[in-house]
Amino acid sequence: MAITKQKGDIAEAFVTYLLKQNGFNVLIPWGEDNRYDLVTEKNGVFKRIQVKYATPKNGVIEVRARSCNNYNVIHYSPKNIDIIAVYSSDQHKVYLVPFSVIKNKSTCNLRLDPAKNKQTRFVTEAIKYESRFDLLEK
């Protein structure tokens, strides 16, 4: 098994565990051809979730809104997913980022630490999305 597949499995298992702890039903699609990894349901609200494994680097977690393999790159869209759940391997935390935050970009950087130049404009703070399970209930 490829190391990236192992990382993905770890992230999906951790996110599923946290979702179940927070009272969500978790549905896992059959097969590998879906853009989403999990579907949650709580009180009749369903959300499609793409799970990503990320390692913070220089105070930033890079969230990639695409999937790559040996043959092609697939960009996600709001037609395919509602939330990207980012599992931070160093911190053992999950960030739930609505696809609307990513907009039409292929990546979004979640800042863990303040920027060294004190910039705040156009900065996406990771803390705003840490364990935001409430976003799955709307």
Question: Rounded distance, CA 65 to CA 62, Å?
Answer: 10
Beta bridge partners, 97, equal: 84
Q: Which range has the worst mean pLDDT, 22-26, 87-91, 116-120, 130-134?
A: 116-120
Q: Report the 3 state secondary structure along 46-94.
A: EEEEEEEEECCECCEEEEECEEECCCCEEECCCCCCCEEEEEECCCCEE
Report in angstroms the alpha-carbon separations of 19 from 35, 53, 119, 125: 19, 16, 34, 22
Q: Beta partners for 53?
A: 87
> What's the pTM value of the predicted model, to 2 decimals?
0.87
| Model pLDDT, residue 3 | 82
More confident residue, 26 or 117: 26
Mean pLDDT for 113-130 is 80
Contacts of 57 (CB under 8 A, 6+ apart): none
Q: Which residues pair with 25 in a beta bridge?
A: 41
Between 88 and 118, the higher pLDDT residue:
88
Mean of the per-residue pLDDT values for the chain?
87
User: According to CATH, what is the number of the domain 3-137?
Assistant: 3.40.1350.10
Q: Which burial class, exposed, middle or buried, applies to 3 when counting CB atoms under 10 A from its CB (0-12, 13-18, 19+)?
A: exposed
Cα–Cα dist 129/4, whole Å: 24
Chain segment 63-107, per-residue pLDDT in tens? 887 776 667 777 788 888 999 999 998 889 999 999 888 776 777
